[in-house]
Amino acid sequence: MRGLNDIIKKTILQEQKFHEINNEISFDFDLYHDEWGHTSDRKWRHGSGNKIYDLNIVRLLEEAKDDIVYNIIEGKIREGKRFIVSRLKGDQLNVVIEPKKNYINHWDLIIITVMKKEGFTVSKGQLQIFV
């Protein structure tokens, strides 16, 4: 019975921590890229020939926000360890992110690459968040 009580207590504390942190979190998007160089080419390289717009990336990450926060709290997202956010339906957008921890409650999520691909392959043990 003690084990169950510990699990319940831990779950409640995680929920409280999530709500405290989540209320203070906002995503500020600074999607800098070179207009005519490498980044522009990459936005066309995968998928059905449809361009990946900054707005597509922003919407995907907004949808994944709660899951990203939970994974930071649980220690599944760690500085320098890349993870992927993927949309299963619709445009099937995948965003590879490298997190950088600046402060306890301030992280930069650096986008490494984006692509539209069904069944995007990840490395063994790599975190993939689905929306």
pLDDT in tens, 49-105: 678 888 899 899 989 988 998 898 888 999 999 999 999 988 899 999 999 988 777
- Is residue 7 within 8 A of residue 54, CB to CB? The reply is no
Predicted confidence band of residue 107 (pLDDT cuts 50, 70, 90): confident
Computed over every residue of the chain, the mean pLDDT equals 79
Q: What's the rounded mean pLDDT across residues 99-113?
A: 84
The confidence score (pLDDT) of residue 41 equals 57
